[in-house]
Amino acid sequence: MFSIIGILIVFGAVIGGFLMEKGPIAVLIQPSELVIIGGAAIGTMLAANPMYVLKKIVASLSGVISGSKFSKQSYLDSLRMMFHLFNKARKEGLTAIESDIEEPEKSQLFAKFPAFLKNHHARDFVCDTMRMAITGGASSFDVDQMMDLDMEVHHKGATLPASALTSMADALPGLGIVAAVLGVVVTMGSLGGPPEEIGHKVAAALVGTFLGILLCYGMIGPLASNLSKLIEDEHGYYHVLRVVMLAFIKGMSPTLAVEMGRRAVPEHVRPNFQEVEKACRQKDEPTPAVAA
């Protein structure tokens, strides 16, 4: 939501300042320039990216509007879930959580955390990792290597939409120059006409450059930057899960493993020790189906 507000402020400030200078707003309304720049930008996006990346871009933009889903509450819920999972494994043995790991959709333990179940990659990340711990054939170092590889592959795929939008933003000023050059070409054909007509065509050509730069630095560029930060938030969440699981696999108690994970939570959403302890000790009640 703040991204949309920021973009509206950018456009409002630019247009408002132009009106304060007694600029005629009608001059900025040049549909042909917008068609050239916008159409060419969309065309370059389609030409540069396969279909699966385009689908990710559409899905990612909805995330930009809604904001980061990794809040303090989501971290509390995740740490609480991991505590109960590890506590069950410690009391009843690792084989006791085998059914939870193999079929998380049917697990009574995971059913209390619907947001986690909806996050398919996080769910698979935890279940696949704990499955390796249960089999007993992999050392903690091997498991850590597998988690690192999984996170690297996922992070690389998650950054593709942001990279595509950044490339599009970088192309917009150049496409604005293309629109301006075409406007100059049209203007050159009217050199024998009235000065007012020539001035109007020159102004229309310059609007092309204006639109290209404004869309680059005032809209697409900031959206790509915001998306990159959301991707880093997601990567930080998986890092916390990795720290918690690795600590438990190395032999730490559920309490210490969760505390290790809490220390890895980014500072702006990190719960304090008392909040985590209270969440872990409270009765097993289903958590709301919000962000995992």
The answer to whether 134 touches 185, Cβ cutoff 8 Å, is: no
pLDDT digits 0-9 by tens, 204-224: 888 989 999 999 999 999 999
pLDDT digits 0-9 by tens, 95-144: 889 899 999 999 999 999 999 999 999 999 999 999 988 876 778 899 99
Token digits for 186?
């049209």
The pLDDT confidence band at residue 145, using thresholds 50, 70 and 90, is very high
Token digits for 255?
């309490």
Token digits for 251?
């032999």
Q: Cβ of 198: how many Cβ atoms within 10 Å?
A: 15
Tell me the average pLDDT across 25-50: 90
Token digits for 194?
């009235």
The answer to whether 78 touches 237, Cβ cutoff 8 Å, is: yes
Handedness of CA 179, 180, 185, 190 (dihedral sign): positive
Handedness of CA 108, 114, 120, 126 (dihedral sign): negative
Q: Could you identify the residue written with the tokens 């290209």?
A: 212
pLDDT digits 0-9 by tens, 53-76: 999 998 888 878 777 889 999 999
The answer to whether 41 touches 171, Cβ cutoff 8 Å, is: yes
Token digits for 239?
């890092």
Distance of CA 25 to the CA centre of its chain: 35
* pTM listed for this prediction: 0.85
Write the DSSP assignment of 52-111 as a string of letters: HHHHHHHHHHHHHHH--S--HHHHHHHHHHHHHHHHHHHHH-GGGGHHHHH-GGG-HHHH
pLDDT digits 0-9 by tens, 226-283: 999 999 999 999 999 999 999 999 999 999 999 999 999 999 999 999 999 999 987 6
**Domain coordinates in residue numbering, the chain:** 2-65+161-222, 72-158+230-281
